[in-house]
Amino acid sequence: MRTTVERVRDERGAVVSVWTTVIATIMVLVLGIAVDLGGLVHAKQSAGDAAAQAARRAGQQLSTGTLLDTGRLEVRTRQARAAAVDYLQAVGMTGTATVENGTTLIVTAHATYRPLFLSSIGVGPLEVTGSSSVRVVRVENGTER
């Protein structure tokens, strides 16, 4: 017959193994969340950067006839939208472009982020959006005209 003292000596370390396993699992989960949140922030920044570049490209679609006739800048709406959407498609994103008041361009870019670690627990692809606006102006000697 075993005594109580012997049984405790036989099982020592078992509790430490359980705690080590639990803590290691929690640390891996926290690391996975940190990596995927960082990736999500990066994807959102990339969408914003792509929207800004697409807006710049769209802003280059000017109506030179209007500028020569009236001295006003005006964006060619259809060409500007097409230039922005083409740029977004070239960088692997989708999006929309609108022109307001003939000189303000607003571009919204949409992208998808696929989590690296969290996808193993069912967190699926996440949609991210970035937007940018550009106002086309005429400047002469540092003064807006």
pTM of this structure: 0.76
- The pLDDT of residue 68 is 60
Please check the confidence at residue 136 and state whether its pLDDT lies above 90: no
Whether the Cβ atoms of residue 99 and residue 105 lie closer than 8 Å to each other: yes
- Give the ranges where 1-145 is alpha helix by DSSP (H): 4-11, 14-59, 64-70, 77-90
Please check the confidence at residue 67 and state whether its pLDDT lies above 70: no
- The pLDDT of residue 94 is 96
Average pLDDT value over all residues in the chain: 85
Total domains, the chain = 1
Task: Give the range of the structural domain holding residue 38, as residue numbers without chain letter.
Answer: 4-144
Task: Give dist(CA 129, CA 95) in Å, integer.
Answer: 9
Query: How does pLDDT run across 46-57, given as a tens digit for each residue?
Result: 999 999 999 999
Handedness of CA 43, 49, 53, 54 (dihedral sign): positive
- The pLDDT of residue 6 is 55
E strand or H helix at 8, and its extent? helix 4-11
Query: How does pLDDT run across 101-128, given as a tens digit for each residue?
Result: 878 899 999 999 999 988 888 888 999 9
Mean pLDDT of 136-145: 78
- The pLDDT of residue 62 is 80
Q: For residue 118, what are the contacts with CB-CB under 8 A and spacing of at least 6?
A: 32, 33, 36
Mean pLDDT of 94-100: 93
E strand or H helix at 13, and its extent? none
Query: How does pLDDT run across 6-45, given as a tens digit for each residue?
Result: 555 556 666 678 889 999 999 998 999 999 999 999 999 9
Whether the Cβ atoms of residue 65 and residue 145 lie closer than 8 Å to each other: no
Q: How many Cβ atoms sit within 10 Å of the Cβ of residue 134?
A: 22
